[in-house]
Amino acid sequence: MKNIVVVGSQWGDEGKGKIVDWLSDQADVVIRFQGGHNAGHTLVIDGVTYKLRLLPSGIVRKGKISIIGNGVVIDPWALLEEIKEIKSKGVDVNEDNFIISESANLILPFHREMDEIREDAAGKEKIGTTRRGIGPAYEDKVGRRSIRVMDLRSESNLDHRLETVLLHHNAVRKGLGKKTYEKNKLKKDLLKIAPEILKFSQPVWLRIDEFKKKKKKILFEGAQGILLDVDHGTYPFVTSSNTVAANAATGSGCGPKSIHYVLGITKAYTTRVGEGPFPTELKDKIGELLAKKGKEFGTVTSRKRRCGWFDGVLVRQTIKVSGIDGIALTKLDVLDELDEIKMCVQYEIAGKKIDYLPASLEDQLEIKPIYKIFPGWKSSTNGIKNIDSLPDNAKKYIFAVENFIGAKISTISTSPEREDTILIENPFNL
């Protein structure tokens, strides 16, 4: 038995969907453990494109069990819409192959509204959220006033819980000059969909324990990237959950010894969506080329991603923070046309050189990247499945990245297609 956690080693959008899909084919159970429908995974299987937001990637494969863990915040209406959408493409979603943690917290309409109110009021100080209510929902969770899946079982309990959470939200809304939220309509709307949500509800921690006893292979599927982690990312331009591998245990209900291998998904260059520091960002023709060739638009929001050179300093740091064992390098083919390729190997702030990302936002915004330059390979790597078939300069770049970041590159992706993958080592077989 080998249980694997997949996390993004940058700011998300590293191509986790394809790698998770490839691994989920070998896993028995796939678990989402953090985030919400603010992050999406795009899968292309037999020519059919699936855009998943809350559902784990294993749902598109027969014979797999997909789980939404307690660490995820769930918009129940968005989830039911996603289930409907994927069923229309021939995917079966039922009580046997899909489980929701009874302890998962719900995103409600007033969370979405609060997200929008704050972003609109922030002006130049906006975070760049997806406006889906993720942050406000996590705030209520930590504030111990949240509505959880289990609360949908009892009308009297739901009434009490809504009273508690709206006492807080309506006070804030009044202070902002906004209309207060009406409890009874929301309660009625929740009770209407409750049976459709509750039929999937189970104590996930107990089911995971059963799977472990049966030696099932478990794949923990991370969303977003480590640099968006609320503790370890570029705060405050981060998400509201812990995106590091350690949260796979907390966000699903199993101990850290349940994790045997951490795979970090890493793009061969760097991208970021929304606001915040980005030391290697390119605001020139090369940045435009990377965006166009890499089709750098968000799965969930369709927002254009900011593009830049590979930041080795950042990835080396996220490898240490998240305990990454191996790297899956994606989108190598996007670099095919470039005359030269740069990798950031050090930072300079106020004339001083450092080799890590400082915690201060003020310092992060002052960073000047120091690059190592590599000659481009000027030939297509698209679809190559054997490392020996890669151009020499491409191999030199890959080995330089591996050497600098201090983690083995176990997989190289050369196109969005699942089969276009160079497999150096399979984490399930280690």
Q: Give the integer Cα–Cα distance in Å for 289 and 237.
A: 26
Phi, psi (degrees; rounded to nearest 5) at 370: -110, 125
Phi, psi (degrees; rounded to nearest 5) at 423: -95, 115
Q: Give the integer Cα–Cα distance in Å for 320 and 24.
A: 25
- Token pair listed for 135: 């942050």
Q: What is the DSSP code string of 70-105?
A: TTBEE-HHHHHHHHHHHHTTT----TTTEEEETTPE
> What is the separation of C-alpha 17 from the centre of its chain, rounded to a whole number of angstroms?
9
> What is the separation of C-alpha 157 from the centre of its chain, rounded to a whole number of angstroms?
33
- The answer for residues whose C-beta is within 8 angstroms of residue 188's C-beta and 6 or more apart is none
Q: Give the integer Cα–Cα distance in Å for 141 and 86.
A: 29
Pairing outcome for strands 368-375 and 29-32 = unpaired
Nearest Cα neighbor of 169 from 215, 103, 110 is: 110
Q: What is the DSSP letter of 153?
A: G
- The answer for residues whose C-beta is within 8 angstroms of residue 356's C-beta and 6 or more apart is 313, 317, 347
Q: Give me the active site residues, please.
A: 13, 41
Q: What is the torsional sign of CA 220, 413, 409, 423?
A: positive
Across the strands, what pairs with 5? 220, 262
Pairing outcome for strands 352-354 and 340-349 = antiparallel
Q: Give the integer Cα–Cα distance in Å for 373 and 337.
A: 15
Across the strands, what pairs with 372? 343
CA within 13 Å, CB half, 218: 29
List, in sequence order, the alpha helices (H) in 215-311. 247-250, 285-293
